[in-house]
Structures are given as structure tokens and as C-alpha cells.
Structure 1
Amino acid sequence: MEELDFVVGWHGVAVLIVWPLIILGMGIYISRFVSKDSKHSFYVAGGGLGTIVLFFTLYASQYSGNTVIGYAPQAYRIGFTWLQSIPFMIVVLAGYMLYAPRLHHISKKHDFITPVDWFQHRFGSELVSFVAVLIMLYGLSNFLLEQLVAIGHAVAGLTAGVVPYQFGVLFLVVIMLLYEWLGGMQAVAIADTFNGVLLLLGVFGLLFFSFTVIGGLGEATEFAAQNFPDRVGAPDTTSAVNWLSMLMLTAFGATMYPHAIQRIYAAESEATLKKSFKRMAWMPFLTTGVVFVVGIIGLKEFPGLGEMEAEELIGMMAARIAGQSGFHYFLMLLLFCGIMGAIMSTADSIILAISSLISNDLYARHINPDASEKKQVLVGKIGGIVLVGLLILVAWFPPGTLYEIFVLKLEIMTQIAPAFMLGLYWERLNGKAVLVGMLVGSIIGGGMTIAGMGTIAGVHGGIIGLAVNFAICVVGSLLLPQSETEKELAEEYTQISA
């Protein structure tokens, strides 16, 4: 088996090099049509993404490397309780529909570039906008760390250790920075389209050959019932509450990803946005559902893996399948491309969002308002590279599992939800109440996580913080008077005609 893994590993290295270089070539070509002197063109593609490209860039960035590399190990570790991963993505779409069409309408009217533009226009407060920037940068940094760790695990597992974890991270990050530097959102969206198609093909190929080579879901379930009964039984009350808490955390947190909000801005029209969301409704079953099944099958083939050992489950299964024949081998290389593409598609979107926040909301708004847009874009690019470099140092020795990093990110990111969910519809929502709510909610959610509490009776700290956050927003807005300026802004951004 060691000799086989070595052969698979070196061909994996070839794929690791060739596919990212193809994506880089596409980015270089697209960059010819991108204005690098305009923030609106560079960061949101001039608001001109059509249905197909918008769908795939939403899909490829939403279903990240964590979905394939991280979700299957989580199914392996906790068993059928991880069925919750399917409604995770369903509630994300429901969350988008609460605010995305209305926000898209406003963003077109005012040429929004980042989510912070909404805070600034709606509440007219530099302090509220600044706190929102910090929360978003924290969430994005955490999310990017998740992707960097996923890159390392994917490369180490799928090349059978030929390429070490750290070198895989460095290589793919350099490729992403290059094509993003050149082509901005348009280059990222085209890369996402190709990567999204490949991800779907790879995931279904993995499922089919897991069934034919390793065994079906029925056999794996029977094996688990005999050897790991805790992973097939009904969850206890605390686990069920935790499930519901996680769904709420995902619904309010994952819909607040700045790179996803920028895709709402980038949609060509509201009709285009809604068509893309309709297609996205099928993806939880066709992606997270498939990965869940693969994780359960892996339990039968590789029983007894430790918590961190399980993080390379997908690579181990791919190597096992690839050893069956040349055809199996080829399709597992295709899976390799799909996984690399999924990771790159999310990571490049995050890096672009980080760059835009630094450019538009820190540098241009607070440091040098008189700078030209060309200089603002350049500062954003450089600032993004510096932050990515710092995160690579953290990812060099990952601080936890992908799932742990995933939850930590949502605990904080969800705290900006009231500003959108309430601010788009309720005139009385007050900027001061939003500010206090974000701060208190973040302290509760982050504080519980840092203190090691995690959950109380199954409820995540982020949800407890969000409940307090919403209460502060509502009660504070009812008690605090609104200035004439605040009333005018509220009326403008909540009373939208058909």
C-alpha cells in the first residue's frame, strides 16, 4: 500500500501544479478587461455578473474546502447527528432571502462596494461602521484560516504526504494572490465557475466509487451500529438543542459573510440574483448530503482514527479508490482538482473581501479619504497580502479541527445580522443601539468560546449573544430618540418602492 500511495502521490503533485496554473492563466486573460483604477469594477465586477457565473461563484465560495475536507471527518466522528449539515446550507439560503433582494436594490442605487457601505449609509455613523469593519475582518480572517488549514490537509492527504502540509498552503496562496491581484472579482468569479463544475463532478465521483469499492451506506451503518453505537443512535436532548442552535448560528452567521454580500452587489439584476438562489436550493443535497454519506462510509473502511487523524479521511479514501484501476485513478485525480478548486474558490473570495474592507473602509474612510481609487485599490491589495501572510504563520501549525475553526468564526460574524435583518425594514432601528448590540453580542459569543464554555445547555455562545444583541437593538431603539438626520436615512433605506 505504501508503494501505491507514493505513485498516487506524485501524480497528485502534477495535478496540484497544473490545475492552479490553468486557473491562473484564466485570471491573467480576464484581467485584460478589468479596470484596476475603479473599486466598483475591481471588487464587485461593476455589478454585471450574469446568472450562470453568479450561481457558480456563489456555489463555489459557499461550499468551501471545509465542506469536503472538514464535513466528512465530522460525520466520521459524530455519526448520523451530522445530518444537520444538510439543513445548514438550506437555512443559509432562507437567511439570504430575508434581506438579499432588498439589499441588492439599494446597492445598485448607491454603488455599494462592501457590506460596511450599508452601515455607513443606513446609520450615518463612523463608529458603527468601524466596529462593523473589525468584526468582519475578524470573521474573514478566521474563515481564511479555515481554508488554509483545509489546503494543508487536502494536499498532505491527496498527495499521500509527497507534498508536506505547509508547502501546499504556500503554493496555492501564491497562485490565488496573483490572479486576484490582476483580475479582481471578475477573475475570481470565472475561476469559481470552472472550479464549481469540477467540484460537483469530483464529489459525485467520490460517492459512486465509495459505494462500489468500499461499500454502501447500509453496510457502513450496520458496521457503525455494531462497533460505534453512539454514532447511529438518536441524539439526546442537549444534542438536539445544540443542533437547533447550530442551525440558527449558520442561518444568521453564514449569510453575513462579506464576500457573499459582495456577490449580492455584483449580480446583474434582482431577477438574476433570484434565479441563482433557486439553483442554489438543490446544492445542500447534492454536496453536503453526499459528503455526509462519504464520511459514514469512511467509518467502516478506516475505523479507529483519532480526532486529528480523521481530518485526512477524504485523502485516505481517494488513495484507496485510486488503487483499483487506471479509470478509478483518473477520477480520483479529478476529485483532487475539485477539492483544490473548492478551497481556492472560497479562499480567493475571502482574500478579495479582506482587500476591499482594508481599501474602502479602513484606508479610504479613516486614513486617507483624498486618495485616488487606484491608490485605494493598491493599498487594499498590499494590506490583504500582509494579513494573509500572518494567517499562514498561524495555519503552519493549525490550532484545532476545521469544524472548531468554523464555529468560532460564526460566533462573532452573526453579531452583524441585526443591522441588516432589522435595518432594512424597521425605521426606528437606532445606530447607537446597533453599536452596543454588536459589541455586547461579540463579547458574549467570543468570551464563552475563549473561556472554553462553548455552549450552555446545548446553545452556542454566539446565539446567546445574538439574542441579547437583538434585544438591545429593539429596546434601545424604542428608548433612544432619533435625530432628524437619522429619521431621513431610515426613511430612505426602508421605504423602497416596487
Structure 2
Amino acid sequence: MDMDLAFSGMSGILIMLFYGLIMLGIGVVTYMKNNKVHSSLDEYYLGGRGLGTMVLFFTFFATQYSGNTVVGYSAEAYRVGYANLVTIPFFIMIILVYLSFAPRMYKLGKKHNIVTPVDWLEMKFKSKAVSILAAIIMLYALGNFLLEQFVAIGQGVSGLTGGTVPYQAGVIFFIIIMIAYGWLGGMRSVAYTDTMQGIALLVGVFMLLIGTILYFGGLPAAGDYMRTYSPENLGVPEGGGLVRWSNFLILVGIGAAVYPNAIQRIFSAKNERALKRSFTQMAWMPFLTAGVVFFIGILAFTAYPDLSAAESEQLVGIMASTIANQNIIFYIAMILLFGGIIAAIVSTADSVLLTFSSIISKDIYGRYINPEASDTKKIHVGKIIGVVVVAFLLLIAWNPPGTLYQIFVLKLEILIQVAPAIILGLYWERSHAGSVFTGMLIGALVAAAFTFLGLTPLGIFSGVWGLMVNVVIYVGGSLIFGKVPAEKSEQSYSDGKAAEPTRI
């Protein structure tokens, strides 16, 4: 018991300080080695377009597998049982969607110095309406994503320290660290901290799985317990359950692949080979991360059968503290996991904040408010607005509106509405700007209205309904109104010579 209290008390605080100082140190070193970081949009927001395979892999890993994956998905597996296996295939789906557009997007980004996804839409459609609407949707999703990470930081710190560090104190401490190193080193700081947290997280999660099996029993024991006390958690999805799985594959597979911060990493790659190799390595991560987290949530059912929904959000922290009490090896491993989880959450939050700032500074301020502003001025404005947004989201995070899982789903319902413009726009020259705008707007309104009213006709999620309406309007309108000049009909955007789109 004394060991458990040590892990949950002063040791937990020291671990927080240790990881926080490492992240801050990365920002300081990055700033000292690169005096151009605050005078170039490419350098600050894209790391100078020079991220190699390993760093690119870990920064994609940190974007896709955030604090929600470890803290939130294990809790969801605990609550719903084997139905949560859908998390593995939908992470695979994300990789497949990436591969459908990332290489082509990279070539365009390199050729035309694209910094943000809105840059691409502006170049493709030359429509102020499309660009502004897409920017608004992306900023909403990024703000939602950032809120999710703030809640995860608080839950993670509180759970992993046994309540010694209050929820609010953990959030404030790591937000200050995040803003400091992000301001100092930009994308390079973010990418390097991603590498640190990725290694710590992978090692820690696997040790947590081993400890869970050793001390709480394996899958047969968990299955027997569920069969007796909660048989509904063992059921194979049928009918409505299968529709729900299909919804998740579409919503998460497509929606998560068009996260603005993920697309920005495509532009950050050193070359196309590094980009493709990083995706090849990412193909294993659904099994090694989401799969492991799923089993941890299932195995925890035997040890903690009566946790409420709110209590289950701290499940990983509770388990880590218990396992750390068993022997010195697991004690050290859980320290590593503790830091890895918190660093993973913070590293996801910093990349989201960086992309949020880039859209504000380049796509809103630099394009429409002060086109003559220097890169230094744009970066400065992005930083200031970013801090204001963080302060606002902190007020919400103080009393989180729902579980991490609910927050996660909410943002994807809206974000997925930019996917047709981003992905179809890469390949279809006949795309009509007015139809793209109308489809995106009505799709977002349908998704928001259905979500607000709690409507899921035929069991289909509101975001998927919005996407279907969006695509029908986009494709139908482009077929009717879109025109491709004969002399340009065979050109492609990979050549950087696009047909002139319809303006709105």
C-alpha cells in the first residue's frame, strides 16, 4: 500500500515535472538551433518541410493515437464490451484513406508551397465562400479536438496520481508547458516531442497489458465474468449493431483522415518516399495500439466490475497505480506509461493548437484581413489567437460536457463534411465550386441538426447522413454546372495546371 501511495503521490508529481521539463527543453533546444523558426510560415508550421521517416511516423502516430485512444477507448471497451472491436478496423480505414490522397496532396503541397488544407481548397476552387466555410468547419473540429485533449489531460493526471494532483491543476500545468515549447520551436518541437512520447507510450501500454494479464487474469476469466454478470457485453453485433459498425468505419475512417493537423503533416514530409514509408509503418499501429488498449479495457472488467461511466474514464490510471504496487519492474514501467500517456495527450494537443493557429494566421488573417502582413506578423497573430482560444476552452474543460468518447464523435460529424472537397477535388477537374460550397454547407447543417435533435434515421449517424447529402449535391451539381475546357481536359493537378474552376 505504501508503494501505491508513493506512486500516486509525490512520485506522480515528480514524473509530471520530469516529462514537462523534457518537453520544454525540446522547445528551447529547437529554438536555439533554428533562428528562422519565427520568420517563416514553412519553418514554424511545417518544420521546414524536412521531417524524415521516423519523426514523420511518430508525429502521425501522435495525431492518430491521442490521449483519447489510451484513456478513452479502454474506458469505452470496459463499458460496451466486445462491440468496441470496431476501433481496430476503423483505424485501418484511416490509413487506407490517407493512402488514397496523401501522395498526390504531398506533390501539390511541394510544388505550390501549400501550408494548410485551406490553401489547397483556395488553389483548387478559387472561391472565397468555399475557403471560409472550410476554415470555419476545420476550426470548429480543431477546437473540439483540443477540448478533448484538455479533458484527457485532467482525467489522466487525476487518475494516474490517485487524485493527488487535481484535475484542474494537471490541465493548467501541461497547457503552460505546451504553449511554451510550441511557441519556441513550432512544428519541429511538436514532432520531436511526438517521438519521445510515442516510444514511452508503446512500451508502457504493452507493460500495462502484461501486468493486467498477470494480476487480473486473461481473456477467459474476463469472458466468464461477463457471461455471468454482463452477457450483453459479449454479444456479436447483429442488425443495428452492424449498421453502427459501418457508420464508424465511414465516420472515423474518412473524418479522421482529413484532420487539418494530419494533412499538415503530409506537407511537412521531407520527400514522398519518407511519407509512404511512414504510412507503411503506421499500418501496424491499429493492432499494436488500439488492439492492445481494447484488451486492457476488456480485462479490467474482472477487477473493477462496478465502475460508473464517469469512474471508468479513469480506468487506465487506476489500473496503472494498482499494477505499480506489485513489484519494482512494473513500478518503473507504469512510471513510463504515466509519462507516456500525458505526453501523448499534450503532443496531440500541441499539434492541434499549431494547426488551429496556422489557419487563423494564414487563411483568415493573412488572406482576408491583412494580405500584406509579413510571415512574422502572421505567426504572431496566430499565437495570440491560439492563447485566447485555449483560455476559452479551459472554461469548458473545467466542467467537461460528456465522456471523451462522446466528445470525439461530435467533432467528426461536422469535420467529415470537408472530405469531398479535399479528396474528390484532387481528382475531379469538373468539380464545380458552387456545388462544393452548397454540398458542404447543407451537409454540415444536416449533421448538426440531426446531432442536436438526436436523430439517426435507419440507424445511420448524423454525420454520415450529412456526408451523403453533401456528396449528392457536390457530384450532381458538378455534373450539371461544371465545365472543363477541351484543351485542358486531360491535364491533372499533379502537373500543377488545373482547369479554371467556377467562381462563387
User: TM over 0.5: same fold?
Assistant: yes
Q: Which amino acid aligns with 2:409?
A: V
Contact kept in structure 2, 1:423 and 1:494, CA below 8 Å: no
**1:355 to 1:496, Cα distance in 2 relative to 1, 3 A:** closer
Q: Which residue of the partner structure matches residue 45 of structure 1?
A: 47
Question: Contact 1:322–1:328 (CA<8 Å) still a contact in 2?
Answer: yes
The equivalent of 1:391 in structure 2 is 393
Could you tell me how far 1:490 is from its partner in structure 2?
10
Tell me, in whole angstroms, the C-alpha distance in 1 between the residues paired with 2:285 and 2:143: 26
Q: Aligned to 1:37, what secondary structure does the other structure show? A: coil
1:91 paired with 2:84, answer no
Structure 1 contact 133–357 (Cα < 8 Å) conserved: yes
1:419 and 2:426 aligned:
no
Match of 1:102? 104
CA–CA distance in 2 between the matches of 1:10 and 1:490?
66
Question: C-alpha separation between the residues in 2 aligned to 1:6 and 1:470?
Answer: 56
Q: Which residue of 1 aligns with 2:459?
A: 458
**Residues 121 and 489 in structure 1, CA contact (< 8 A), matched pair in contact too:** no
Q: What are the residue-to-residue correspondences of 1:138-157 with 2, within 5 Å?
A: 138-157=140-159
Q: 1:400 aligns with which of 395, 399, 402?
A: 402
Residue in structure 1 matched with residue 183 of structure 2 by the alignment? 181
Distance 1:325 1:3 in 2: 9
Q: Which residue of 1 aligns with 2:502?
A: none
1:9 matched residue in structure 2: 9
C-alpha distance in 2 between matches for 1:243 and 1:314: 25
Change (3 A) 1:182 1:75: same
Corresponding residue number in structure 2 for 1:436 = 438
Question: CA 1:93–1:172 in 2, change beyond 3 Å: closer, same or farther?
Answer: same
- Are 2:414 and 2:463, in contact at CA under 8 Å, matched by a contact in 1? yes
Question: Residue 88 of structure 1 aligns to which amino acid in structure 2?
Answer: F
Query: What is the rounded CA distance, in whole Å, between the counterparts of 2:59 and 2:487 in structure 1?
Result: 37
Question: Structure 1: how far apart are the matches of 2:311 and 2:468?
Answer: 36
Q: Specify which of 176, 190, 193 is matched with residue 191 of structure 1.
A: 193
> 2:490, 2:143 → 1: CA distance?
31
Q: 1:109, CA displacement in angstroms?
A: 0.2
Question: Closer, same or farther in 2 for the Cα pair 1:233/1:22, shift >3 Å?
Answer: same
Measure how far apart 1:32 and its partner are.
2.0
Alignment partner of 1:79 is 2:86: no
CA contact (8 A) 1:427 1:490 kept: no
The aligned residue for residue 26 of structure 1 is 26
Partner of residue 501, structure 2: none
Cα RMSD for the two superposed structures: 1.8
1:264-283 correspondence runs (5 A): 264-283=266-285
What amino acid sits opposite 1:332 in the alignment? M
1:493 equivalent in structure 2: 493
| Aligned counterparts of 1:437 and 1:488: Cα–Cα separation in 2 | 25
Change (3 A) 1:471 1:14: same
Secondary structure class of the residue paired with 1:235:
coil
Letter in 2 for 1:459: I
Whole-angstrom distance in 2 between the partners of 1:15 and 1:489: 60
- Structure 2 CA distance for partners of 1:173 and 1:471, relative to 1, 3 Å: same
Structure 2 length normalisation: TM-score? 0.95
Query: Counterpart amino acid of 2:111?
Result: K
Q: Structure 1 unaligned segments of length 5 or more: list them.
A: none
Q: Percent identity?
A: 48
- Correspondence for 2:345: 343
Helix, strand or coil for the counterpart of 1:160? Answer: coil
Distance in 2, Cα, partners of 1:173 & 1:471: 42
Q: CA offset at residue 452 of structure 1?
A: 2.3
- 8 Å contact kept, 1:9–1:158: no
| Structure 2 equivalent of residue 115 of structure 1 | 117
Paired residue secondary structure (1:305):
coil
Deviations 1:358-378, CA, capped at 9 Å, x for gaps: 100111011111111100000
Q: Report the CA distance between 1:492 and its aligned residue.
A: 5.3
Task: Give the Cα–Cα distance (whole angstroms) in 1 for the partners of residues 490 and 178 of structure 2.
Answer: 40
Contact 2:427 2:492 (C-alpha < 8 Å) held by counterparts: no
Distance apart, 1:327 and its partner CA: 2.3
* Corresponding letter in the other structure for 1:247: L
SS in 2 for 1:424: helix
Structure-2 residue corresponding to 1:332: 334
Structure 1 residue 235: Cα displacement: 1.8
Q: Distance in 1 between matches of 2:368 and 2:422?
A: 23
Distance 1:61 1:222, change over 3 A: same
- Report the counterpart of residue 228 of structure 2 in structure 1: 226
Change (3 A) 1:88 1:244: same
Q: Aligned AA for 2:377?
A: K
Distance 2:194 2:465 in 1: 35
Match of 1:262, SS state, is helix
Alpha-carbon spacing, 1:228–1:435, altered in 2? closer, same or farther (3 Å): same
Which residue number in structure 1 is paired with residue 133 of structure 2?
Answer: 131
User: CA-to-partner distance for each residue in 1:94-141, whole Å, 9 max, x for gaps?
Assistant: 010110000000000011111000110000111110111000000000
Quickly say closer, same or farther: Cα 1:226–1:50, change in 2 above 3 A. same
CA deviation string 1:151-198 (max 9, x = no partner): 010011001001111110111011010000010001110111111111
Aligned residue number for residue 500 of structure 2:
none
- Distance in 2, matches of 1:390 and 1:88, equals 32
**Normalising by the residue count of structure 1, what TM-score does the alignment of the two structures yield?**
0.96
Contact 1:143/1:409, CA 8 A, preserved across alignment: yes
Q: Does 1:246 align with 2:241?
A: no
> Could you list the runs of 5+ residues in structure 2 that have no partner in the other structure?
498-504
**CA deviations over 1:272-305 (Å, ceiling 9, x no partner):** 1000000000000000000000000111110011
Distance in 2 (CA, whole Å) between partners of 1:5 and 1:396 is 26
Aligned in 2, Cα 1:368/1:240: closer, same or farther, shift over 3 Å? Answer: same
- Asked whether 1:478 is paired with 2:479, we answer yes
Q: Distance in 2 between matches of 1:13 and 1:153?
A: 15
